[in-house]
C-alpha cells in the first residue's frame, strides 16, 4: 500500500514540490505528524515527538519560500534524529534510563546545521542504549519493530531511524554508525544508509559510545536523499578535534554518471559461507547487474577481516568504559539515594544502565586494566592497522568494495537477545569499515526470494570518496528500482 501524498514522495521529490509551491511545509509536516500518530503505537520508532516546534519551523519555512529566501534543499522538509544528538530544550536519553529527564542546553553541530538549512525536526528516534546493539532491543524504553514485519527487528542501533524512514513517517533521518549501526538497519528495513568517512561529519554534541569509531550519517528512501542529507551536515567543525578539513564536494554532482568503468572489488572472505542463501543470491545478482552496466568485478582479499569482530569488541568496549564513566548520578539524569558517594555511584549505575551497557563496560574495563592492556587493547589496535592496510591494498585494484551488509535478513525479536555472541556476529561484514575509518553505504538490492524481506548491498570506499559510493549505489538503484514501501505497518 503506497502512502498518500505528500508522504509518497521521496525527500528530493518533496523538496522540488516545496520549491514549486505545490505543497507547503506545514502540510507536509502535518501529514508526517498524523502518520506518526497513526502508526507509531505499533512501530515504536519514536521516543518523543515535538509537534509544536515542528509546526512553528514549518510555518517559518513557508514564509521564507514565499519570499524566495529558501536556505537549502532541506528547507521545510520534515526529518527526525536518533536520540543520541543533543537537542536544545528536548529530552535526550541515548536510549538509557541513566539519562532520563536530561534536557540539553545546546544543539549538537548536526542539529545546528540542519536548523540552519531550514529542516523541520519532528522528534527523537528509538535506539539501542548508548548505540550498543544490533536489534534496537537494548533500548530502555522498549524495542522498535521492523515495518516489513512487526515481529522482527529493524536492526540497530539506529533502528528507529531506519524504521521511521521505511514506514514513511519522515522523509529522512540521521543516525550514528560505530560498527554498522546505520548500514545494518538500513539493509534490514530496505532504505539507503550511509556511514561517512570518520571525521567527515562533526561528532560535537553526539553522546559518545566509542570515540574513535562513532560517525554520524544519513538514512533516506533513495540515494539522492542520502546525498542531499549528507551535504547539509558534512564539513569541518572546530569544536570537534577529530573533524576533518577535507573539502566537501557536491554529492549530487556526478550521481547519474552510472557504473560504467567502475572497478568493483569482491572480497573472497565475504563469500566463504555464513551468509543466508537468499541474501547471498541477491548480493550476487547485484554484482552481476554492475557487470551488465559496464563495471568490472575484481577479486580482492581482506585477510584480516576475520579478526574484525574480535578486535572491535575490545576497542569499542574499552572506549565505552572510558566514555560512560561520566554517568555517575552527579551531573546527568536521575540519582539513586545512597548513604555514601561511592554507594551513590554504584546504585545509580546499577539502576541506570541496562544489561548490554554493563556487559560492555565490564569488558572494556577489563581490557584496559593493569596487566591486560597490552594483551588485549593494544593487540586489537594492531589488528585494526592490519585491517586498514588490507583495504589500502584492495583499493589499488578497485574503486569500491562490495558485499553483504548483514548475513541474514531481519531476524525475529527475542531471537538473539539472550546470546550476545550471535548478536555481535550480525555486524560481521560492517565492522571492518569502522575499524579502517572508511565510508560505507547500504543500498537496497531487492527482496529475499523466500520471505520477501529487504536485502542490502554494502559498498565501501576510499577515505572521503563518498561521491563514488553514491554514484555506484545510484546506478544499482536505477537498475533495480528503490525498495517499495513496506505493507505490514499500513
**190, 406 contact by CB (below 8 A):** no
Task: From the candidates 134, 139, 181, 406, give the one annotated as an active-site residue.
Answer: 181
Spatial contact of 202 and 441, defined as CB atoms under 8 Å apart? no
* 44: phi then psi, degrees, rounded to nearest 5: 75, 30
Q: Compute φ and ψ for 132, nearest 5 degrees.
A: -100, 90
List beta partners, residue 454.
Answer: 447
CA–centroid distance for 304 within its chain: 24
82 is known as an active-site residue = yes
Residue 254 φ/ψ, nearest 5 degrees: 80, 5
Beta-strand pair 172-176/192-195: unpaired
Distance CA 62, CA 67 (A): 9
- The answer to whether 350 and 362 are in contact (CB under 8 A) is no
Cβ 269 vs Cβ 306: under 8 Å: yes
Coil vs helix vs strand at 53? helix
> What whole-number distance in Å separates Cα of residue 243 and Cα of residue 282?
36
Of 209, 203, 169, 206, nearest in space to 189 by CA: 169
Alpha-carbon distances of 388 from 211, 263, 376, 395, 458, rounded to whole Å: 18, 19, 19, 11, 17
The C-alpha cell 522523509 sits at: 171
- Choice among 10, 15, 24, 157 that is catalytic: 157
- Whether the CA torsion 475, 480, 484, 488 is positive or negative: it is negative
Instruction: Tell me if residue 416 is catalytic.
Output: no
Show the cell assigned to 147: 515495518
Cis peptide before 88 (omega within 30 of 0): no
Please indicate whether residue 157 is annotated as part of the active site.
yes
Phi, psi of 70 (to 5 degrees): -55, 135
Catalytic site residue from 10, 15, 61, 82: 82
Phi-psi group of 185: left, alpha or beta (phi > 0 → left; psi -120 to 50 → alpha; rest → beta): alpha
Round to the nearest angstrom and report the end-to-end CA distance of the chain. 7
DSSP state letters, 181-216: TTHHHHHHHTSEEEEPPTTSB--TTBPPS-TTT--E
- Kindly list the catalytic residues: 82, 157, 181
Amino acid at each position: 500500500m503506497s502512502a498518500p501524498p505528500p508522504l509518497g514522495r521521496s525527500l528530493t521529490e518533496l523538496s522540488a514540490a516545496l520549491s514549486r509551491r505545490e505543497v507547503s511545509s506545514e502540510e507536509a509536516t502535518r501529514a508526517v505528524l498524523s502518520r506518526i500518530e497513526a502508526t507509531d503505537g505499533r512501530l515504536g520508532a519514536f521516543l518523543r515527538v515535538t509537534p509544536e516546534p515542528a509546526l512553528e519551523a514549518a510555518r517559518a519555512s513557508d514564509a521564507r519560500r514565499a519570499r524566495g529566501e529558501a536556505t537549502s534543499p532541506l528547507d521545510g522538509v520534515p526529518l527526525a534524529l536518533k536520540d543520541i544528538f543533543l537537542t536544545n530544550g528536548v529530552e535526550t536519553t541515548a536510549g538509557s534510563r541513566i539519562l532520563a529527564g536530561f534536557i540539553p542546553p545546546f544543539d549538537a553541530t548536526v542539529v545546528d546545521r540542519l536548523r540552519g538549512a531550514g529542516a523541520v525536526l519532528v522528534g527523537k528516534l528509538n535506539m539501542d542504549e548508548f548505540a550498543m546493539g544490533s536489534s534496537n532491543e537494548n533500548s530502555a524504553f522498549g524495542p522498535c519493530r521492523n515495518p516489513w514485519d512487526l515481529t522482527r527487528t529493524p536492526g540497530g542501533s539506529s533502528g528507529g531511524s531506519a524504521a521511521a524512514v521505511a514506514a514513511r513517517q519522515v522523509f529522512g533521518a540521521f543516525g550514528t554508525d560505530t560498527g554498522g549501526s546505520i548500514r545494518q538497519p538500513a539493509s534490514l528495513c530496505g532504505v539507503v544508509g550511509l556511514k561517512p568517512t570518520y571525521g567527515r561529519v562533526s561528532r560535537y554534541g553526539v553522546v559518545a559510545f566509542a570515540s574513535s569509531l562513532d560517525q554520524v550519517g544519513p538514512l533516506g528512501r533513495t540515494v539522492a536523499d542520502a546525498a542531499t542529507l549528507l551535504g547539509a551536515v558534512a564539513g569541518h567543525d572546530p569544536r570537534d578535534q577529530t573533524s576533518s578539513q577535507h573539502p566537501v564536494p557536491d554529492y549530487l554532482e556526478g550521481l547519474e554518471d552510472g557504473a560504467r568503468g567502475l572497478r568493483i572489488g569482491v572480497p573472497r572472505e565475504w563469500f566463504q559461507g555464513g551468509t543466508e542463501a537468499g541474501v547471498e543470491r541477491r548480493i550476487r545478482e547485484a554484482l552481476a547487474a554492475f557487470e551488465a552496466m559496464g563495471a568490472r568485478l575484481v577479486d580482492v582479499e581482506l585477510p584480516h577481516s576475520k579478526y574484525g569482530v574480535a578486535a572491535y569488541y575490545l576497542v569499542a568496549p574499552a572506549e565505552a568504559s572510558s566514555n560512560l564513566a561520566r554517568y555517575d548520578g552527579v551531573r546527568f539524569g536521575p540519582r539513586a539515594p545512597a548513604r555514601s558517594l561511592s554507594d551513590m555511584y554504584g546504585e545509580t549505575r546499577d539502576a541506570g544502565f541496562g544489561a548490554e551497557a554493563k556487559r560492555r563496560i565490564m569488558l572494556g574495563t577489563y581490557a584496559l586494566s593493569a596487566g591486560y592492556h597490552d594483551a588485549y587493547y593494544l593487540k586489537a589496535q594492531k589488528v585494526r592497522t592490519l585491517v586498514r592496510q588490507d583495504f589500502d591494498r584492495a583499493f589499488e585494484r578497485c574503486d569500491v568494495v562490495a558485499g553483504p551488509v548483514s548475513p541474514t535478513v531481519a531476524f525475529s525479536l527475542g531471537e538473539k537477545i539472550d546470546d550476545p555472541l550471535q548478536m555481535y556476529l550480525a555486524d560481521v561484514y560492517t565492522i571492518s569499515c569502522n575499524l579502517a575509518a572508511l565510508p560505507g553505504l547500504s543500498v537496497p538490492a531487492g527482496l529475499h526470494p523466500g520471505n520477501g524481506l529487504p536485502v542490502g548491498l554494502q559498498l565501501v570506499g576510499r577515505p572521503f570518496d563518498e561521491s563514488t559510493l553514491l554514484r555506484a549505489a545510484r546506478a544499482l538503484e536505477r537498475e533495480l528500482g528503490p525498495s517499495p514501501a513496506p505493507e505490514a505497518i499500513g
